[in-house]
Amino acid sequence: MIAIIGLGYVGLPLGIQFANRGQRVMGIDVDTAKVESIRRGESYIRHIASETLYDQVASGRLTATTDMAKVAHCEAVVICVPTPLSKNREPDISFILKTGEGIAPHLRPGMLVVLESTTYPGTTDEALREVLEAGSGLRAGEDFHLAFSPEREDPGNPNSQVAKIPKVVGGLTPACMTRAKELYLRAVDGVIPVSSCRVAEATKLLENIFRSVNIALVNELKVVYEAMGIDIWEVIEAAKTKPFGFMPFYPGPGLGGHCIPIDPFYLTWKAREYGQATRFIELAGEINTAMPKHVVTRVAEALNTDRKPLNGSRVLLVGLAYKANVDDDRESPSYVLMDLLREAGAEIAYHDPFVPVIRKNREHPHYAGMTSVPWEEAHVRGFDAALIVTAHACVDYRQLVDWSELVIDTRNATAGLRGRARVVKA
């Protein structure tokens, strides 16, 4: 049996995939609501169909519990817990360490422990290894196997299938890597072995730093071209016709999710230990985190053109999730925009069919319980401006431009649409 600890956007799809390939999986999570939902075969993640989950639960291949002691009955343990940043933008690996402390008393010789949580190089073979060895009395690489394999989930992308995405695997020893490779080949079609846990950890960081830096580039160019009267979206569409040497990235109102806004700073923090500067990462962070302020400035300018001050205006944010077609609002730039708009005196509301009620979150608990306004003409017409933050495919943007006086579009969702509204890109 395989234990998967952490049943969120990474752990649950992985558990389902192992079960789908005939493996017995025990999901473990501290959240009793998630455990009970799995036991009923009801998915709490929008892009995972309840039917898919129910099939594996009904077969008996997938079970769930809050009892960490159950790992003693498993041959392998995969850790998929959060790795946030602290308020000082320092890595918080406390969830990893607490999970390791919970596993340690139940480790047996021959077991495999794999970390999937994104983190800085050295976490697996130093920090996690230390708590596992201290709590078990066993030696990693001798008595039990230890490895790192970064998650590569892309929620909301129909082409992102766990089975089809190669798994990078690095082990503490060659034997650890071989054991982890054998495990993942039971669930996925391809495994990419690397020489160490640190190389695997660094691989994940490179993937996300690459995206962060390129998104920052187009965000900066958006502002530059805007000043020149040039539409960055038209420029990107033209540039991506080149069949070599170019990969399109798109601007937005700020970064969101649990990867791009956070992961690059894990390397920045660790690099300082070696006396190294990460100037590209830090500059990209500065540019991307400045985008919400730029958007609010554009909202204020657009309202001013209509002889309306931002102070006292009613603004509807269209889309709350951090990316299109998902219900995940972690680190969403929408919350930063809401804060900035409120500080400027605007009255705010939001519409998001995937987030009907805002759940309590660590950074913006003051919005907990706020509900999505109905998508009805009478409601939309009551706002001075509509601000498109997340471009869900199910939202009718033609209706939005027909119902609104002013639309500020950060996602190019209204491209080619004409209606009652004046549309401003931001």
- Region 222-246 average pLDDT: 97
**Average pLDDT over every residue of 240-250:** 97
Q: Report if pTM > 0.85.
A: yes
Fold match, 2-195 / 291-425:
yes
H/E element, 170: strand 167-171
State the catalytic residue, choosing from 80, 176, 197, 259: 259
178: tokens are: 């071989």
59: nearest Cα among 14, 3, 33, 21: 21
Mean pLDDT to the nearest integer, 2-24: 96
The amino acid present at 2, given as its one-letter code, is I
Q: What are the pLDDT digits (tens) for 120-160?
A: 999 999 999 999 999 999 999 999 999 999 999 877 677 66
Percent of the chain residues past pLDDT 70, beyond the cut: 99
Q: Which fold has domain 2-195?
A: Rossmann fold (3.40.50)
DSSP state for residue 365 in the 8-state scheme = G
The domain segmentation of the chain, as residue ranges, is 2-195, 291-425
74 flagged as catalytic: no
Residue range 237-243: mean pLDDT, rounded: 97
Q: What is the pLDDT of residue 379?
A: 93
Q: Please state the length of the chain.
A: 426
Q: What is the CA radius of gyration of the chain?
A: 23
- Say how far apart CA 121 and CA 108 lie, in whole Å: 26
Q: Model confidence over 337-392: pLDDT tens digits? A: 999 999 999 999 999 999 999 988 877 889 999 999 999 999 999 999 999 999 99
Distance CA 154, CA 231 (A): 28
Provide DSSP, 234-281: HHHHHHTTSSSS-------SS--SSSTTTHHHHHHHHHHHTT---HHH
Q: What is the pLDDT of residues 33-52, one digit of tens each?
A: 999 999 999 999 988 999 99
Sorted by sequence, the CB contacts under 8 Å of residue 278 that are 6+ apart come out as 264, 267, 268, 271
Is the Cβ–Cβ distance between 84 and 92 less than 8 Å? Answer: yes
Q: How many CB atoms lie within 10 A of CB 265?
A: 21
Q: Which CATH architecture has domain 291-425?
A: 3-Layer(aba) Sandwich (3.40)
Give one word for 402, left, alpha or beta, with left for phi > 0 and alpha for psi -120 to 50.
Answer: alpha
- DSSP code string of 371-422: BPPP--HHHHTT-SEEEE-S--TTS-HHHHHHH-SEEEESS-TTTT--SSSE
